[in-house]
């Protein structure tokens, strides 16, 4: 099993269907221990989309795998913050683990503007 897989979401809205598509991509990459979802292009999200990601992470954890998100912004960021989703759906830069940090802006990482 490899350490991680990086999956980029090209949708501007994280809807339930967009999250399902990400889940299908995760299923194809079942060889990775941790999946990093790059959400830099996402500027809006639905509650159902975030809930689907949370359910996907729970399924991964049950398999001994995990998932992190990177680059959330705009209305999607606000929704994430309002619902205090950081415990259910944590953020992390893929290289942050190497230095023992888990902040999004480690290594000078900046989300797309």
Distance CA 106, CA 62 (A): 28
Model confidence at 14: pLDDT above 80: yes
What pLDDT sits at residue 31? 85
Range picked from 2-6, 28-32, 49-53 for highest mean pLDDT: 49-53
How deeply is 106 buried, as exposed, middle or buried, from its count of CB atoms within 10 A (0-12, 13-18, 19+)? middle
User: What single-letter DSSP state applies at residue 91?
Assistant: B
Q: Residue 11: which region, alpha, beta or left (left: phi > 0; alpha: psi -120 to 50)?
A: beta
Kindly list the structural domains of the chain, giving each domain's residue range(s) and its CATH number in brackets, ordered by start: 2-102 (3.30.750.24)
Strands 13-14 and 32-38: unpaired
pTM of the model: 0.78
Q: Are 1 and 66 in contact (CB under 8 A)?
A: no
């Amino acid at each position: 099993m490899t350490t991680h897989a990086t999956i980029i979401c090209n949708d501007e809205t994280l809807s339930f269907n967009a999250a399902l598509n990400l889940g299908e991509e995760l299923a194809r990459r079942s060889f990775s221990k941790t999946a990093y979802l790059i959400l830099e292009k996402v500027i809006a999200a639905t509650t159902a989309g975030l809930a689907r990601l949370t359910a996907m992470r729970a399924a991964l954890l049950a398999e001994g795998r995990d998932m992190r998100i990177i680059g959330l912004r705009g209305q999607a960021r606000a929704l994430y913050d309002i619902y205090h989703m950081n415990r259910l759906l944590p953020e992390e830069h893929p290289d942050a683990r190497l230095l023992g940090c888990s902040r999004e802006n480690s290594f000078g990482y900046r989300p797309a503007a």
